[in-house]
Structure 1
């Protein structure tokens, strides 16, 4: 990798980190190409990205960002899982690590808050942004549905009484 390629890699990684809601640092302990492809596919489905990079370039990319504190986690064969949704990257990595012992979660960060392994797993247990939006819409929609039922109930009772009155011939 020449100097220009390194500068481009650092700039690309910095741009990726600037849009990140959370970053998860993982250690690759011998993933096969098929396993790595499966992990990247799971990350894309979750709306996240997974970037294997040289630690020196990653340290340069995180300098002067909210993720500067991740520098101490970047030792050995590491990779960064990044997503705009703070939960997506953590959830995808934790799910993959459950079924594959060759991926070790080292830690992570949400902005300037550093997370240990337990923190990343706790973050993964939270509902995603889309799930929260769905629940919020359901909560907002429920009162309107109940109001419509209450408003319609008296009208339907009056209609039944009128129908019964008409049927009785009075």
Structure 2
């Protein structure tokens, strides 16, 4: 292999090492404007899109031990890598594919575990980290709110009783 191709394969390998997830998409038929829009959306969730040659990607993945997954590298493929929220990146991909009917998600990897298309769809349907944190805080807050309502109810009942007596809106007991 020529030295420049070896250097490119090494760069791809470094990118894959630093990434916590990887999605492979087929981009056949996409326009440059769509690529720009997808890159902008992925950048917002700390992910990036790279178009690479299949042979260089195969060589880089073999160097990392990913060759055992038997990935299908036919057609025009692009990689989406990142170290942020994998669910947010999958969600961006799914929404973009629904909006523009491209790119086609082929597969994904989370760490060194391969993901099928169905598993990528499940990741895309999960809430983001921020939504999960908000739900968790709501769960922590709920028991304290219930306890506060239970403790304040006797005093509130007494106030309502005095108010009703003062307004004589109920018959005396």
Same structural fold, with TM-score higher than 0.5 when normalized by the shorter chain: yes
Instruction: State how far apart, in whole Å, the 1-side matches of 2:10 and 2:154 are.
Output: 65
CA–CA distance in 1 between the matches of 2:67 and 2:145? Answer: 48
TM-score (norm 2): 0.75
Q: CA deviation at 1:12?
A: 4.6
Task: String of CA shifts for 1:60-81, please: whole Å, max 9, x gaps.
Answer: 4434547555662333321111
1:107 aligned partner: 107
1:64-143 alignment, distance < 5 Å: 65=64, 67-69=66-68, 72-84=71-83, 85-143=85-143
Distance 1:162 1:53, change over 3 A: same
Aligned residues: 166
In structure 2, the gaps of 5 or more residues are 169-173
User: What value does the CA root-mean-square deviation take over the aligned residues?
Assistant: 3.0
- Radius of gyration: which is bigger? 2
Cα distance change, pair 4–30 in 1 and its aligned pair in 2 (3 A): same
Cα distance change, pair 147–15 in 1 and its aligned pair in 2 (3 A): farther
Structure 1 residues not aligned, in runs of 5+: none
